[in-house]
Structure 1
Amino acid sequence: MTDRVVNPKELSCMGKLVAVSYVTLDGVFEEPAWSGPYFNDELGAWQERNLHETDALLLGRRTYEGFKAAWPQMEAATGEFGKRMNSMPKYVATTSLTEPEWNATFLQGEVADAVAKLKTEPGSLLLNGSADLLNHLTRHNLVDEYRIMVYPVVVGEGRKLWHDGTKIALKLADTWTTTTGVEVITYVPA
């Protein structure tokens, strides 16, 4: 096997993987009903930018099933955001589902290999939620940017965003705070 030299112009058209996560101060990410009192127009506009600057969603099975059940019914209430969410391509990491729906393609083979292959193509991927998938891809150095919304609430229990054994050094790329106290932090691998 020989090393391939990548032309810098080629890098600009290669895929980028951006992960967006909601977390509490104590690191819990699941069932984000706790985010409701803090979600406002600022976060809504930021989430809309995240969605519109990407070409496809990358989802784990649980997140895909939850989104697939919810978003088609929410399109009328969410306007352009809902239309975009429902119409864009989705790549799903699953070993148990067999019939893709909702513009989905199920990843084949080892997930990290499949995502690495997707990243060689033009366009960008947005990973929402899907902590198991996020941790797996982080361990394989496939996430290019982490956009984390830290909510000013401690819930005391629940699934954590980061699994034991997941390690990565990060560099702060951006941070801002909403008027409701949500800290929006963007990191890139160091």
Structure 2
Amino acid sequence: MRKVIASVFVSVDGVFEDPSWSMPFWNAEAEEFAGKQLAAADALLLGRVTYEGMAPAWTARAEGAGAGTERMNALPKYVVGSSTAAPEWNATFLTGDLAAEVAALKQQDGGDLLVYGSGRLVNALIEHDLLDELRLWTLPVVQGRGRRLFGEDSPVKTLRPVGTTVLGDSGAQVHAYVPVAAG
């Protein structure tokens, strides 16, 4: 059975939208952590907006740009939501019942299903008890404005901390949480 792991950059005030602001905190430790995370995955699960932002950026990277780029481009992508564009970048669009389709993907053999960004998707996965681990890359910056990962309409869910990784002297930390089953 596969796990669904969400990996999301957030500011200390909870903003996750357009994480271009995260680049000053990227260092060798962050790259190593991200590489291990990507190596454990055998597919990506993305929201449509995240997919539409990532696809052109990653496919534009030159061949031979490194193992991480090659792996990212080679992995299958499952995209939640429809698009007017034809699927590219090894993508399959999941347009049916989210809970049923993700539950079916989880039942398959293989590595992790890795979610990047995709705030609405992360909230829906939590709501349907389909998220196995949430990795919040908390970066020491206050954005002040922007979409927050968990808004007023987010489902209430208790999370159990399972570890923290400090990413060198950048001040960035990855906090890992496992959702606690209701009941």
Q: Which residue does 1:9 correspond to in 2?
A: none
Residue 167 of structure 1 aligns with an amino acid whose one-letter code is V
With normalisation by structure 1, the TM-score equals: 0.89
Q: Which residue does 2:171 correspond to in 1?
A: 181
Q: Which residue does 2:149 correspond to in 1?
A: 161
- Looking at structure 2, the residues matched to 176 and 57 of structure 1 have their Cα atoms a distance apart, in angstroms, of 22
Structure 2 residue runs without a partner (length 5+)? none
- Looking at structure 1, the residues matched to 64 and 175 of structure 2 have their Cα atoms a distance apart, in angstroms, of 28
Do the aligned partners of residues 60 and 83 (structure 1) sit closer, same or farther apart at CA in structure 2, a change above 3 Å counting? same
- Looking at structure 2, the residues matched to 40 and 78 of structure 1 have their Cα atoms a distance apart, in angstroms, of 17
Percent identity of equivalent pairs: 45
Aligned 8 A contact 1:135 1:163 in 2: no
Residue 163 of structure 1 aligns with an amino acid whose one-letter code is G
Runs of 4+ residues deviating >6 angstroms: none
Q: Which residue does 2:130 correspond to in 1?
A: 142
- Looking at structure 2, the residues matched to 70 and 96 of structure 1 have their Cα atoms a distance apart, in angstroms, of 18
- Looking at structure 2, the residues matched to 158 and 181 of structure 1 have their Cα atoms a distance apart, in angstroms, of 21
1:127 and 2:110 correspond: no
- Looking at structure 1, the residues matched to 85 and 22 of structure 2 have their Cα atoms a distance apart, in angstroms, of 33
Do the aligned partners of residues 182 and 92 (structure 1) sit closer, same or farther apart at CA in structure 2, a change above 3 Å counting? same
Q: Which residue does 2:49 correspond to in 1?
A: 62
Provide the aligned C-alpha RMSD in A. Answer: 1.3
1:84 and 2:44 correspond: no
Residue 71 of structure 1 aligns with an amino acid whose one-letter code is W
- Looking at structure 2, the residues matched to 121 and 128 of structure 1 have their Cα atoms a distance apart, in angstroms, of 20
- Looking at structure 1, the residues matched to 119 and 147 of structure 2 have their Cα atoms a distance apart, in angstroms, of 9
- Larger mean CA deviation between 38-47 and 75-84 belongs to 75-84
- Larger mean CA deviation between 68-77 and 14-23 belongs to 68-77
- Looking at structure 2, the residues matched to 150 and 32 of structure 1 have their Cα atoms a distance apart, in angstroms, of 11
Residue 119 of structure 1 aligns with an amino acid whose one-letter code is K
Q: Which residue does 1:72 correspond to in 2?
A: 59
Do the aligned partners of residues 31 and 77 (structure 1) sit closer, same or farther apart at CA in structure 2, a change above 3 Å counting? farther
Aligned 8 A contact 2:74 2:90 in 1: yes
Q: Which residue does 1:112 correspond to in 2?
A: 99
CA displacement 1:6-27 (0-9 Å, x = unmatched): xxxxxxxx11100000000000
- Looking at structure 1, the residues matched to 115 and 98 of structure 2 have their Cα atoms a distance apart, in angstroms, of 13
With normalisation by structure 2, the TM-score equals: 0.92
Of residues 23, 28, 35, the one that matches 2:22 is 35
Q: Which structure: larger Rg? A: 1
Structure 1 residue runs without a partner (length 5+)? 1-13
- Looking at structure 2, the residues matched to 97 and 116 of structure 1 have their Cα atoms a distance apart, in angstroms, of 25
- Looking at structure 1, the residues matched to 17 and 86 of structure 2 have their Cα atoms a distance apart, in angstroms, of 26
Q: Which residue does 1:5 correspond to in 2?
A: none
